[in-house]
Structure 1
Amino acid sequence: MRIPPYYRLPTWQRFLAGMVLGGAISWMVFLFMFGVLQEEQTKTIEEQKDTIENIKKDLSIWQDEYKKLNKDNQKKLLIQDIKVKILNPEEYKVELLSIHETEDTITEDLRSLLTKDLESVYKNKDLIKKTIEKQTINLNDKRYQLKVKEMYIYTSMEIYLELKIAS
């Protein structure tokens, strides 16, 4: 087989040269456009990575500061209010006025705990409990002792007491 002699005809030579030249130019344009787009995408990705890194660093700093402030604030929590409640005055038929006065007296006795930090009050809760239970109270010409049923210690200290006849 023989190749036809088109290479000798100038019209075919121009056509083939135009195809080769057009293919080369289109390839160059494609490479340029693809390169520019990839460069923009790479730049965007790098900027996003830097932004994420900075945000993570800021977040860790904020979290550390937040944890530190919380610890400091917990150490500084103070007793701000004391509430005393006697649970069973009906059992011994004691007047409500006497019960209220007794609650006020115990609250006044514990007034020194106000503005103390929670940790020190919690460490001394047994002493507080014994101090309350050692007291004898005269109500309606009878002697009663108090028994601590529940004690909640936070910024507001709540103590729930029960009456029992002193022995």
Structure 2
Amino acid sequence: MHIPPYHKKTTWQRFFAGTFVGGIIAYIIFIFMYGTMYETQLKENLALTSQVNDLKNQNEALLKDTEDLKAPVTVSVIEITIENAKELSLDSLVVPKLEALVKDEISHITGQSVSIVDEIDQLLISAIENKEFTIDDLRYNFTVQKLTISETVKVILEAESLN
């Protein structure tokens, strides 16, 4: 069987050249359309991703606010201040030790509800005033000048040396 020599006829050459050029043009158009569509999809995806992240952050903030409304306010920090440290000539290393001892004495109130701590404020004052704190063979007694109860319990003390 013999295959006819179509490549020699000009009409067939034009047909094959047109098919080849048309295929190339169709491929270029397809790539352009696909690239344009992919670009718009990518932009839309990025916009939706940022919108989802914003909504997640907003949702977390609202959930936290809801939890804060449900949960009672608790004591998180205790601040101790000794008013007359300079008058008693207390060493700058002794003052933080005394403050730490007083904090240890009332540390059980951290994590407690502010309303509960407010009810036992006299107990806290008594616990601080009725205990002697010893550092370097020197004994100290404290008088509570001011007690502020909120998320941060602030206690202002006046020290008295017992030696």
TM-score normalised to structure 2 length:
0.54
User: Which of the numbers 84, 90, 96 marks the counterpart of 1:88?
Assistant: 84
Q: CA separation in 1, counterparts of 2:71 and 2:162?
A: 40
Per the alignment, residue 123 of structure 2 pairs with 127
Q: What residue number does 1:158 align with? A: 154
Quote how far apart the aligned CAs of 1:99 are: 1.0
SS in 2 for 1:100: helix
- For residues 97-148 of structure 1, give each alpha carbon's deviation from its aligned partner in whole angstroms, at most 9, with x where no partner exists: 1111110121122221111001110000000000000111234643221000
Q: Which residue of 2 aligns with 1:46?
A: none
User: Residues 74 and 119 (structure 1 numbering): CA distance in 2 closer, same or farther, change over 3 Å?
Assistant: farther
The residue type paired with residue 151 of structure 2 is T
| Structure index of larger Rg | 1
Identity %: 18
Q: Which has the higher helix share?
A: 1
The one of 107, 110, 114 equivalent to 1:114 is: 110
| Distance of 1:155 and 1:124 partners within structure 2 | 15
TM norm structure 1: 0.52
Q: Tell me if the contact between 1:137 and 1:144 (Cα under 8 Å) persists in the aligned partners.
A: yes
Query: For 2:146 and 2:93, how far apart are their aligned partners in 1?
Result: 23
Paired letter, 1:166: L
The answer on 1:145 being equivalent to 2:141 is yes
List alignment gaps of at least 5 residues for structure 1.
Answer: 1-68
SS of aligned partner of 1:154: coil
